Structure 1
């Protein structure tokens, strides 16, 4: 890099960040699927006929919903947003680099 007027953006690094964010997003989707299907607590699993049975089942269902809606969904939305913004940023810098290259080399010379 030369003068303070110059800048450099590593488009490959932005692309790598985007790919990694998409990988995290896929992992989050798997985690959300697991909470939806692998944490099912059938009635009677913890026993039957005791005073706190309904309260315990309700607490489980509420915690499961909280994890799905307030943790996994929000994280998934955040990661998706970061991924989209990273892609847009990379594309904008790529387009700008293309414009500058063409301005400096008119006619492809």
Structure 2
């Protein structure tokens, strides 16, 4: 990679962020699998499947975006350029919020 070697603290912080994206992906995937494995009488089956699919899809996006994001940040650090904004942050924020709200509504309705 071209440019100057950045301060090791910044490189390690970038690596921790990369690993956090991967752990977030794993957590989203586990949540999707957990929702898919719920007993059939808890939620309407198609809604349960939809919630699981949204979470697993978000997990795939997080995992797929982790390495390119790491590379972008590392390149910017080496070139002393401004860091690029996290483009997928709104997708994850709104996606998880949507799943949480739908699950909340379904829990309240089924109680």
Normalising to structure 1: TM-score of the pair? 0.50
Bigger relative contact order, structure 1 or 2 (CA pairs below 8 A, ≥6 apart): 1
Normalising to structure 2: TM-score of the pair? 0.49
